[in-house]
A and B are shown apart, each in its own frame.
Chain A
């Protein structure tokens, strides 16, 4: 029955036709995102996912498609996600992950497949020392060394000679201990005591007693997010009245909520977005950051914005700036486009982001300078920009 066969064949033909039409009308740029929306780093991954939802679906007439996967802060899952995104979804650029271990694990996949990758994790080890693999890797959060130097400068100005250090017993705490020791020594600051604690600990009394017994001029707590409030509370409970410094890992509203009165007067370095409204109008970061904050708060409720989500937004601002150069090399979905995108990212100059102004170079794939950090203090339950 030829007629019936024709009837059956028609939808198939149509489907093929439609698909080919769609393909002809310009391939979208596919952005693969692997972040930790569950697991121990969910407080980083969830605002990052919310920020991806705010990203433009079209840049300069070029369609953009986002594919977001969760790696639960598990390095092996991050690698599996990276492979899936590259092999199945044919992505042009890989964004992620939220944590340093997962990001480090993804580097080899990105380099092997020649896909540019932008990490949202802080450690400098993701982009340094530069080698054939890291050629493909960029990152948006500030290096810890930049923050540690700002912190050490502030301490030096305040006349601090000895510091008691308590940090996470993981990559974050260890990284900070190394960077801070490096930054402190030339400024005549020494560590009087070094203690560790774990994120889920319910008490740090033992560590705090030892810190106080060492009688340092100031304390530095190297923890991320709300768990960093516990040592500070215990220090105050045990009668410590000196200045307490924190790292940029605590720069979010939940830290203030959990810390309450105990964190008043804390001094910490942060990306400028934290105090965007207090920046002088002449600072170009102010406009970009306020724009992001307005968008995020409109979508997720007032006061919900935080620094971590902005790193994801910044990653896409970088891609956005590099796409025109990449399109000159080839069409999205091709190796030439990805190569062009990588070169474009590396050639970016003075791109204004939420967290600073980036100027990339073949040896620096973070690109931030001193404009990417400000010193802030906690006053009356809010953040105050220090001059």
Chain B
């Protein structure tokens, strides 16, 4: 291996690591606020990527049906529980919003509005799926044990996976790059897409940091993460906090999907494996530490990139083996963790 190969692998690892980092952040955040391990995250990645690719061909993506359907179901579920109060606001969120997004998409899609608008449309179509999913599947179980929530999460993953096959079909698509520029740094060529990925990931992370540190809403979310009961006692609505956490996860998941779409062909079920690598990183961070999760995501990306060069047949084995020593160390350090429930 010479220096140029080393640099290419490094670059590849960092770019993939950045996407895993975004997903790891979502997983940590959603788990901290709602105790849900967000397995359907991977489906959001796939759906966003495929929606973006469909939009680029000038067609109206069929994921609009999913948006409308899930929104409608969320409305019925929430309206059933609420009966009367705040129904208007609920209807705006779960019925009017999807209708508006669908209207804009149907109007804009055939005109091939360009990459920037397509990215925004794909985000608008995919991101709301997460809060609807929360209203439909997780809010009614908000006080259940972590295990029940995990089972609900697996269920949501399987259901969305099946719907994905129905909506997008078994074949994959690749979206267009945000930029076709190739920058030369010394003898190293950096594709513009990689810079976009790094730039947007860093922006998202900075945004999250500012949100959690300096806004009232962010502080409230942190309070719920630290102590649910305590947060309730001081007047924070934990359900609202869950909804916001899912909305953020939806936006970041969809963003990851749009970012990864130009790199490779995405299938209806590709997101799961990408999400799984984010999950490995989140676990290394103990599902609690944001900086540790981001660092671990970078390590996962780099391990993946270098093991692909040295021992491609065992790449996945190596990546997922990384988690074993961490789990051993964690179970040795925190033997009383399970008693907290």
Contacts and interface: CB of A to CB of B under 8 A. Distances in A.
Pairing of A with B: yes
A230 B162 contact: no
Which residue, of A38, A42, A205, A227, has the highest number of chain B Cβ atoms within 10 A? A205
A203 B309 contact: no
A75 interface: no
Interface residues of A, number: 31
A257 B175 CA distance: 12
Interface string A257-288: 11000000000000000000000000000000
A207 B313 CA distance: 10
Interface string A7-44: 00000000000000000000000000000001010110
Contacts of A200: 267, 269-270, 273-274
Main secondary structure of the interface of B (DSSP, over half): helix
Interface in B240-271: 260, 263-265, 267, 269-270
A169 interface: yes
Contact of A205 (B173, B265, B273, B308): B308
Main secondary structure of the interface of A (DSSP, over half): helix
Contacts of A225: 171
B270 A203 contact: no
Interface stretch (B4-12, B201-209, B279-287): B4-12
B310 to A, nearest CB: 8
Interface stretch (A107-115, A146-154, A191-199, A336-344): A191-199
A301 interface: no
Contacts, number: 88
Contacts of B306: 206
Contacts of A205: 8-9, 12, 305, 308
Interface residues of B, number: 33
A226 interface: yes
A38 B165 contact: yes
Interface in B304-331: 304-310, 312-313, 315-316
B313 A209 contact: no
B162 A38 contact: yes
A206 B264 contact: no
Contacts of A204: 308
Contact of B264 (A195, A201, A207): A201
B84 interface: no
A209 B309 contact: yes
Contact of B308 (A45, A206, A226, A257): A206
A196 B312 CA distance: 5
A241 interface: no
A46 B169 contact: yes
A177 to B, nearest CB: 10
A229 B174 CA distance: 11
Contacts of B173: 257-258
A195 B314 CA distance: 10
B110 to A, nearest CB: 19
A226 B309 contact: no
Which residue, of B170, B273, B309, has the highest number of chain A Cβ atoms within 10 A? B170
A195 B263 contact: no
Interface string B288-306: 0000000000000000111
A204 B315 CA distance: 11
B172 interface: yes
Contacts of A257: 173
A226 B5 contact: no
Contacts of A197: 308, 312, 315
Interface of B: 5, 8-9, 12, 16, 162, 165, 169-174, 260, 263-265, 267, 269-270, 273-274, 304-310, 312-313, 315-316
Given A201-B264, A206-B9, 14 more contacts: A46-B169, A169-B312, A200-B274, A201-B308, A201-B315, A203-B16, A203-B304, A206-B312, A210-B312, A213-B5, A225-B171, A226-B172, A226-B267, A229-B265
26 contacts: A42-B170, A46-B169, A169-B312, A195-B312, A197-B308, A197-B315, A201-B264, A201-B308, A201-B315, A202-B260, A203-B305, A203-B308, A205-B8, A205-B305, A206-B305, A206-B312, A209-B8, A209-B9, A226-B172, A226-B265, A226-B267, A227-B265, A230-B264, A230-B265, A254-B171, A258-B172
Q: Lowest 8 A-B CB distances belong to which pairs?
A: A206-B308, A206-B309, A42-B170, A43-B170, A196-B313, A202-B264, A254-B171, A205-B12
